[in-house]
C-alpha cells in the first residue's frame, strides 16, 4: 500500500489515543491490516532500478496531505509517532530490500520472519484503478475521523 495512504490512515490514532507508544503500536498494527486489503502499490520489480524518485514523491505527498489536514499539529509528538508507526513496516522492509544479501543484511536478519509475514499479508493488484479503491475508502474514513 502507498505511503501516502499509510500516512493519512495513521492520523486518527494521534487524535483518539494519548500514549505515544500505544499510538505507534496501533498505527503499526493497522498498517498490517491495511496491507491485507486489495491494493495497488509501487512495484520495484517493474522498474530497472529501485524507483527512489517515485517513492520520494509518494512519501512527500503523503506528508503534505497530512499537513493540509492537520496543519500545525503535524510536528507534534502524537502525529509524529502515528506517522512513524504507520510507515515503519515498509521503511524497515525497504531498507532490507535495498541492502540485498551481503554483509549488512545480517544486522536485520532477526527481523526476517517479520518480513516474510509482512510479504504474505499483501493482497495486491497490478491494476491501479482497482487497487486504489480500498485506499481511497480508507483515506476518506480517516479524514472523517479527524475532522
Shortest Å distance, C-beta 89 to Zn ion: 5
* Distance in angstroms (rounded) separating the CA atoms of residues 75 and 80: 6
Shortest Å distance, C-beta 10 to Zn ion: 12
Residue 78 engages Zn ion in binding (rule: CB under 5 A): no
* Angle 129-63-8 from CA coordinates, rounded to 5°: 55
Question: Using the rule CB under 5 A, which residue among 89, 131, 134, 139 binds Zn ion?
Answer: 89
* Distance in angstroms (rounded) separating the CA atoms of residues 25 and 56: 24
Q: Do residues 127 and 40 touch, judged by C-beta distance below 8 A? A: yes
Shortest Å distance, C-beta 59 to Zn ion: 13
Question: Using the rule CB under 5 A, which residue among 9, 26, 90, 139 binds Zn ion?
Answer: 90
The interface region with Zn ion, picked from 28-36, 57-65, 100-108, 109-117 by CB under 5 A, is 28-36
SS3 label, residue 124? strand
Residue 35 engages Zn ion in binding (rule: CB under 5 A): yes
Nearer to Zn ion, 77 or 117 (CB): 117
Residue 58 engages Zn ion in binding (rule: CB under 5 A): no
Q: List the grid coordinates of 56.
A: 520520494
* Angle 67-135-38 from CA coordinates, rounded to 5°: 155
Point out which residues bind Zn ion (CB under 5 A). 35, 89-90
Amino acid at each position: 500500500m502507498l505511503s501516502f495512504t499509510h500516512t493519512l490512515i495513521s492520523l486518527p490514532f494521534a487524535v483518539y489515543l494519548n500514549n505515544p507508544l500505544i499510538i505507534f503500536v496501533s498505527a503499526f498494527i493497522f498498517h498490517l491490516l491495511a496491507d491485507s486489503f486489495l491494493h495497488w502499490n509501487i512495484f520495484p520489480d517493474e522498474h530497472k532500478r529501485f524507483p527512489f524518485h517515485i517513492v520520494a514523491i509518494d512519501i512527500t505527498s503523503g506528508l503534505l496531505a497530512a499537513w493540509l489536514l492537520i496543519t500545525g499539529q503535524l510536528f507534534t509528538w502524537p502525529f509524529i509517532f502515528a506517522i512513524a508507526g504507520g510507515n515503519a513496516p515498509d521503511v524497515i522492509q525497504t531498507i532490507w530490500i535495498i541492502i540485498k544479501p551481503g554483509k549488512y543484511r545480517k544486522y536485520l536478519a532477526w527481523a526476517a520472519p517479520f518480513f516474510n509475514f509482512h510479504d504474505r499479508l499483501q493482497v495486491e493488484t497490478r491494476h491501479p484503478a482497482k487497487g486504489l479503491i480500498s485506499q481511497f475508502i480508507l483515506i476518506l474514513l480517516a479524514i472523517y475521523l479527524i475532522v
